[in-house]
């Protein structure tokens, strides 16, 4: 176990689970996970429907200021789910078994409405995904070709890294 400060999002408490890790594995550093979260293009978002069933959908997201950010139309299933339950899981990774680090981020989706913050995030979307993802900021949301999009931030509460290949390992980060 790592004696790092679990309240500091830049320095989470880090554990390697020996039950799911090779004896020669080391915990993955959080800086590596952050870099992968920033570079990943596609994520899978899991929300909870009002009746308790899970809902999973692929989407794009931006890592900024210690949180993943995604957007969705106000009438989409995920936005309606978030009205009643903000608990979410975001996952990303590689499609191979022989290498890479798959990531799972658990947290609370919190709506972002501050105009300055939304403007910075709109710029981050263009920087990462290109001009076709340019948004205006209006009335506490993004406005694009598809209409209004609500923006949510998910700061990790707990995150997991699944190292594949040699050595394999499971790292848990607690914030």
In total, how many domains does the chain have? 1
Within a domain: residue 6?
Answer: no
pLDDT at position 10: 74
pLDDT in tens, 110-164: 999 999 999 999 999 999 999 999 999 999 999 999 999 999 999 999 999 999 9
User: If residue 127 lies in a helix (H) or strand (E), which one and from where to where?
Assistant: helix 115-129
Please tell me the predicted confidence (pLDDT) of residue 5: 35
Count of residues making up the chain: 175
Quick: pLDDT tens for 63-108: 999 999 999 999 999 999 999 999 999 999 999 999 999 999 999 9
Query: Domain span at residue 30?
Result: 13-174
Q: What CATH number is given to the structural domain containing 134?
A: 2.30.110.10
Residue 23 φ then ψ, to 5°? -60, -25
In a domain, 94, yes or no: yes
In a domain, 2, yes or no: no
**What string of H, E and C letters represents the secondary structure of 51-77?**
CCCEEEEEECCEEECCEEEEEECCCCH
Cβ atoms of 104 and 154 within 8 Å: the answer is: no
């Amino acid at each position: 176990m790592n004696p790092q400060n679990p309240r500091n999002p830049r320095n989470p408490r880090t554990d390697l689970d020996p039950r799911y890790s090779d004896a020669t594995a080391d915990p993955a550093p959080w800086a590596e996970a952050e870099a992968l979260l920033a570079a990943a293009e596609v994520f899978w978002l899991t929300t909870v429907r009002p009746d308790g069933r899970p809902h999973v959908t692929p989407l794009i997201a931006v890592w900024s200021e210690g949180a993943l950010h995604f957007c969705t139309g106000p009438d989409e299933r995920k936005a309606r789910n978030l009205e009643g339950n903000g608990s979410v899981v975001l996952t990303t990774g590689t499609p191979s078994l022989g290498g890479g680090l798959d990531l799972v981020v658990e947290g609370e989706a919190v709506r972002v409405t501050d105009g300055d913050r939304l403007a910075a995030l709109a710029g981050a979307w263009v920087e990462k995904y290109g001009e076709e993802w340019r948004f205006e900021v209006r009335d506490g949301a993004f406005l694009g070709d598809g209409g209004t999009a609500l923006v949510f931030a998910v700061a990790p509460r707990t995150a997991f890294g699944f190292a594949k290949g040699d050595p394999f390992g499971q790292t848990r980060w607690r914030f």
